[in-house]
Structure formats: structure tokens, C-alpha cells
Amino acid sequence: MTRATNVVLLLAAVCTASCKGPPTREPLLIAGSTTMREYLEGLEEEFERRNPTIDVVFGGGGTAAGAMAVKKGAVDVAMMGRDLSASEDDLTLRNYLLARDSVVVITNPSNPVDGLSLAQLKAIYLGEVRSWKDVGGQDSPIVVYEREWSDRSRKSFGALALSGDSDGVVQSAKTAPSADEMISAIRSNPSAIGYLPMNRMSKDVKNLRIDGVEVSRITVLSGRYPLTRSFYLVVSNPPRSAEKFVEFALSADGEGILAKNGLIPTF
């Protein structure tokens, strides 16, 4: 499907949805990254509670289509799961950094391996490297843990570590149904590797350095930790309702909701 078709389809979806709202409420059209949309859970409800005359209408379409739609004035706010590209950026677009998203790669504290390169991490998850000795560790098979398909940290890990190839994870990988169970699985298995969202970091497991960089709020904000991406709200010539939404998302209360959803606020 072409990008133009994407824009048309998301517009149609947004419009159909908006027509159902009460006529007295002003629709605020937000479209773009569906991944980012999941992280905004709770933000829209709280915003509408505080602004009863505004009806937030979400459409998907993806990051590229969202950027195009906001430039054309077809939607009020675009959600982007990455930086604007040089060709997308222009003098009128404003992309407000809302939060950063990151994942922590973990092993058992007894594992002598302290860090992996991005390439090694990817090779382990795709099953191309199967023993710890191939990445400087002991001669023991690597036990790969992942999260269930609907989990947000699985999607982040797929996008950040596997170039989006979450389905290519080695067949023998085990699934941890929650962050707590991920932690207890890794804690009880010296050969295991897994991952956690930033807000669930635990002292019971070892955080691996990636490309030599230790994971922390500081290295995620500085942008040096490699498993990091940025979420933006983008406006071009926004109506007041769109400005209010961006202001709320960037406020202490808005950023608090994003933090609860596992993002690293830039607040």
C-alpha cells in the first residue's frame, strides 16, 4: 500500500469515528504511530475529563502517514515513534519530544558476561548465537526469554534490538507472562537472558551494557544507550485544542501517565 493510500485510509477512519461524537464537542484529530498510541493509554481520558468540550479522535496509519497528514492539515496532531527525517522536516513543523522508550537487557547475576554489542544481542535472539562462550561467557547454551506478543516491552525490544523482526525470535525461546515472572525466571537460571521495560528494573538481575553503554535514565536521556527511541507529538498550524493536548501531555500530570505506562519522561 502506498503512503498516500495510507493517509486516505486513516483519514477515512478518523472521520467515520468522529461523526459519532456529540455535535457540541470539538473534534481533535490525532493520528500516526499505533505503537505510540498504546503508550498514551490514559492520557486521552484524563485530557477529555479536564476538557469536556474536546472530543479526542484517534487514527492509526503509522508514523510516516501521520507526519504527512499533519503537514497537509488533515489531522491536528501526529504521533511519531521516531525522529522526523530530514525530508519530512520543514520550517513550520513542530515536533515536541514527549518521552523516550527503552528496554533493559538482563541476565542472571552469576553470568560473567557484563555486556553485549547490539549485533550480538540480535544474533542471540534470532538463534544465530546459541552458546554464552561465543560472546565471551561460559560454555553453556543460552536460554532466551521473551514476552507475550501483546506486551509493550516485547514490541519495543523488537523495534530497538531486532530491527522490527519480533517474529524471527529463536523457536526455543521461552515466554514470561509478566515482568515479575521475567525477573524470577532470569534470577533462577544462570544461562538465561531476557528483557524488561525501564520502569521495572530490578536489583535481582544483572543489567547488561549494550555497545559498552550502561543503561540508566541518564544514558537514555543523553541518547547514548543504544536501545532507545523517541516519541513525539507533531503539530504544524495547530488549533487551540491541539495546543492544549500537547501542553497537557508535556505537563507533570501528563508525563506521570506516560511514566506509568513504562516510558522515560523528558520532564
Contact indicator for 265, 255 with CB cutoff of 8 Å: yes
How far apart are alpha carbons 131 and 129 in whole angstroms? 6
Asked if 122 and 161 count as a contact pair (C-beta separation under 8 A), the reply is yes
Q: What's the gap between Cα 12 and its chain centre?
A: 26
Please provide residue 250's backbone torsions phi and psi, each rounded to the nearest 5 degrees. -90, -5
User: How far, CA to CA in Å, does 3 sit from each of 9, 11, 31, 129?
Assistant: 10, 12, 14, 37
Name which of 131 and 266 has its Cβ closer to another protein.
Answer: 266
Smallest gap, in angstroms, from Cβ of residue 205 to another protein? 24
Residue of 66, 158, 226, 265 that binds another protein (CB under 8 A):
265
**Closest to 56 (Cα-Cα) out of 79, 29, 31:** 29
Out of 16, 110, 163, 178, name the contact with another protein by CB under 8 A.
16
| Count of residues in contact with another protein, rule CB under 8 A | 52
Query: Which of 3, 178, 212, 267 forms a contact with another protein (CB under 8 A)?
Result: 267
Shortest separation between residue 244's beta carbon and another protein, angstroms: 9
Under rule CB under 8 A, residue 118 binds another protein: no
Is-contact 143 29, C-beta < 8 A? Answer: no
We find the least distance from the C-beta atom of residue 127 to another protein, in angstroms, to be 29
Backbone angles phi, psi at 102, to 5 degrees: -155, 160
Q: Does 119 bind another protein (CB under 8 A)?
A: no
Task: Return the beta strands (E) in 20-124 as ranges.
Answer: 26-32, 54-61, 77-80, 94-107, 115-116
Binding another protein (rule: CB under 8 A), the pick from 22, 24, 91, 203 is 91
Residue that is written with C-alpha cell 514470561 in the block = 176
Shortest CB 267 distance to another protein, Å: 5
Should residue 8 be labelled a site residue for another protein when binding is judged by CB under 8 A? Answer: yes
* Binding of another protein by 82 (CB under 8 A): no
Quick one: which of 89, 165, 180, 204 contacts another protein (CB under 8 A)? 89
Interface contacts to another protein, rule CB under 8 A: 7-9, 11-12, 14-16, 18, 27, 29, 72-76, 83-84, 86, 89, 91-92, 94-97, 100, 218-219, 221-224, 230, 235-240, 242-243, 246-248, 250-252, 255, 265-267
